[in-house]
Amino acid sequence: MNSVTIKKIYDLSQPLFHNCPGWVEYPSTHITRDYHISVNGFNAEMMHMNTHTGTHLDVPFHFYENGDTIEKVPLESFMGPGLFCDLRHKEPDTPITAEDLAPFLPLIERGDWVILNTGMGKKRGFNKEYLMGWAYLDGSGAEGLIKAGIKGVGIDALSIGGWGSPTKGRPCHEVLLSGNAYILEDLLIPDEIMDGKKRMISCFPLLMPGCGGAPARAVAYEFA
């Protein structure tokens, strides 16, 4: 067997912690240490959170009653070449359109993951822009990506869709999830990865049968 050497791994994941920022309509994430070394001989924590909190994946059941749940999606769907698209110039709460993505389309190959860098991941916190005002993918942008044959789309914001109106939030979800493209949300993208090079992506979700989303540890890596 030929060996493969990984040169560098880039963590693309936001941390999960007690009361971390998340979708404002969901209950806050609650993490407590219920067992302590001093009392029990070991430490162990309890967690209560929505599955769409922190870095996580959306699969078809999230928007479609008869859509695939996490355990039904082939594992190979959660990895592949990734193209990082620099959209940090986009104003808050504005759509990422087919026109915005047009410069990247010649670089996209069938089976790629496309990662949208809006710069919002570095603004994570309890502020209005992060919680309600990120740049979001619209229906036209999603349709163009589906036509390109992508495997999935990621974004460094709470959602691939916008906040405050179904007309901002639903179209891209519906287009992507009905087109066998998966969604990776709430990423943190390092600046050094924005050099135009493709890197391998993996974003394996927790195995949570019956769910339309699950937390994931998203990474990008490059080979020596």
**CATH number of the domain encompassing residue 100:** 3.50.30.50
What's the confidence (pLDDT) of residue 3?
A: 78
Handedness of CA 187, 190, 191, 195 (dihedral sign): negative
Q: Is 27 a member of any domain?
A: no
What's the confidence (pLDDT) of residue 183?
A: 98
Give which of 114, 109, 112 is closest to 85, Cα–Cα: 114
Range of the domain at 183: 6-14+50-223
Q: Is 42 a member of any domain?
A: no
Q: Is 142 a member of any domain?
A: yes
> How many angstroms separate the CA atoms of 48 and 197, rounded?
38
Q: How many domains does the chain have?
A: 1
* Average pLDDT for runs of 10 along the chain of length 224: 87 98 97 98 98 98 98 98 98 98 98 98 97 98 98 98 96 97 98 96 98 98 92
Q: Is 25 a member of any domain?
A: no
Report the DSSP beta bridge partners of residue 75: none
Do 189 and 12 meet the contact criterion of CB atoms below 8 Å apart? yes
What's the confidence (pLDDT) of residue 4?
A: 84
Do 219 and 202 meet the contact criterion of CB atoms below 8 Å apart? yes
**Residue 189, phi then psi, degrees to nearest 5:** -110, 120
Write down the pTM of the prediction.
Answer: 0.97
Q: Is 36 a member of any domain?
A: no
Q: Is 44 a member of any domain?
A: no
What's the confidence (pLDDT) of residue 7?
A: 94
Report the DSSP beta bridge partners of residue 11: 219
Quick one: which H or E segment has residue 166? Answer: helix 166-178
User: Which tens digit of pLDDT belongs to each residue from 138-148?
Assistant: 999 999 999 99
**Residue 21, phi then psi, degrees to nearest 5:** -60, 145
**Residue 97, phi then psi, degrees to nearest 5:** -100, 175
What's the confidence (pLDDT) of residue 224?
A: 86
User: Which tens digit of pLDDT belongs to each residue from 78-111?
Assistant: 999 999 999 999 999 999 999 999 999 999 999 9
